[in-house]
Amino acid sequence: MQFKLTRSISCVEEIIQDERPRSYGEKLDAYRAAAWATYKSKPMSHWILLTLSSGAMLIAFPASSLLSRVYYSNGGTSKWIISWVAVAGWPIPALVLIPMYAVLGIFPTPLTFNLVISYITLGFLSAADNLMYAYGYAYLPASTASLLGSTSLIFSAIFGYFLVKNKINASTINAIVLITAAMAIIALDSASDRYGSVTDKQYAMGFVWNVLGSMLHGLIFALSELVFVKLLGRRSFHVVLEQQVMVSLFAFMFTTIGLVLNNDFQTMASEATSFKGGRSSYLSVLIWGVITFQLGVLGATAVLFLASTVLAGVVNSIRVPLTSIAAVILLNDPMSGFKILSLVITFWGFGSYIYGNYHASKDSS
């Protein structure tokens, strides 16, 4: 099926190149023909699943970010609790994975010693990553934390270059420069980009931990790719889900240990009574935080498998401004001219990265 898809697209591209359309109308017709050929090459179920998966990314990830900020703005204080919420939903992808074994007649990937060690390592790093992001949401507006989170693209490219030997082209370098400039603009505008109760020290701490979390997230992404290259050797949907389940399980274990050592299970009980809106509101924020985070991860996994990393990058680039706009509307986040400029530059950086990787993948195929 993949061969037929590639062949149909290449045929259309040859037609486009041979005809050399002279007008924009002819070019538009050629692109429509290519899009139609791509659409017809896959069954309707494929496009339905791809639409649902993209929608999950665009809705669940912003919702998870906003819920983390709501937790702190309504009376929550613990960094460990929000870190725990991010991985407490690890059984959700497992509920999707287990039926696949019976329906598709496949077997779980054998667990070797090296594979288990890699899952434990990634789980520990994920637990630390979630804790760093929790500091960001505790002291920064959700819109700012989302923008800073986009720096993970920079670190993914850098670590991917050194660990997996991925290529860095001019578009990627341009994206790195643009996104770095956007983050510098936010840092310079810190005076107008904070809540009244947040001190200079807390804002700086949230800013630094958020960027460090993005750096660690980029490392995790590169190491995950390295696991596929060195240990798994294949990238099917159920194998990707297996990795997600195992890494989340170990991250859940590490985070639960931190929660216990910090006595934060007792903190949950006291926070629930003093939380704005009461106990039911407190539980709703935590439960929906668990669900939305895992739905976003499932959506991202499905988009990567059903389409490509390029489309996943496109959806992720749309997610950043969606989160920022939603935070301004729903949470009254401060939105200065400098932050708007930073948002535009970040979106530009994403566009440069997607454009470069699209042509790189096209040339390699």
User: Which one is predicted more confidently, 12 or 142?
Assistant: 142
The predicted model gives 292-298 an average pLDDT of: 91
Q: Average pLDDT, whole number, for the chain? A: 85
**DSSP code of 193?**
S
The predicted model gives 63-91 an average pLDDT of: 95
Element (DSSP H or E) covering residue 49: helix 44-73
Please determine, for residue 228, whether its predicted confidence score (pLDDT) is greater than 50: yes
Helices (H), the chain: 2-19, 24-40, 44-73, 79-87, 91-104, 113-139, 142-149, 152-163, 170-188, 200-227, 237-261, 264-274, 278-306, 309-331, 337-364
Query: What count of Cα atoms within 13 Å lies in the side-chain half-sphere of residue 337?
Result: 0
Please determine, for residue 183, whether its predicted confidence score (pLDDT) is greater than 80: yes
The predicted model gives 269-276 an average pLDDT of: 93
Query: Lowest-pLDDT range, 90-94, 120-124, 226-230?
Result: 226-230
- The predicted structure's pLDDT at residue 31: 63
pLDDT in tens, 248-262: 999 999 999 999 999
| Residue 315 CA, distance from chain mean position | 9
User: Which one is predicted more confidently, 267 or 232?
Assistant: 267
pTM of the predicted model, to two decimals? Answer: 0.85
| Residue 361 CA, distance from chain mean position | 21
**CA-to-CA distance for 188 and 91, rounded, in angstroms?**
42
DSSP 294-360: HHHHHHHHHHHHHS-HHHHHHHHHHHHHHHHHHHHHHH-----HHHHHHHHHHHHHHHHHHHHHHHH
The predicted model gives 313-334 an average pLDDT of: 84
The predicted model gives 147-156 an average pLDDT of: 87
| Residue 196 CA, distance from chain mean position | 29
pLDDT in tens, 349-365: 888 887 777 666 666 55
**CA-to-CA distance for 11 and 129, rounded, in angstroms?**
45
- The predicted structure's pLDDT at residue 137: 95
Query: What count of Cα atoms within 13 Å lies in the side-chain half-sphere of residue 170?
Result: 1
According to the per-residue pLDDT averaged within each range, which of 103-117, 150-164, 344-358 is highest? 103-117
Please determine, for residue 97, whether its predicted confidence score (pLDDT) is greater than 70: yes
Query: Which 3 state secondary structure label does DSSP give 11?
Result: helix
- The predicted structure's pLDDT at residue 22: 57
User: Which one is predicted more confidently, 269 or 153?
Assistant: 269
**CA-to-CA distance for 54 and 64, rounded, in angstroms?**
15
Q: Show Cβ contacts of residue 3 under 8 Å, excluding neighbours closer than 6 positions.
A: none
Residue 247 · residue 126 · CB < 8 Å: yes
- The predicted structure's pLDDT at residue 15: 44
Q: Show Cβ contacts of residue 205 under 8 Å, excluding neighbours closer than 6 positions.
A: 135, 139
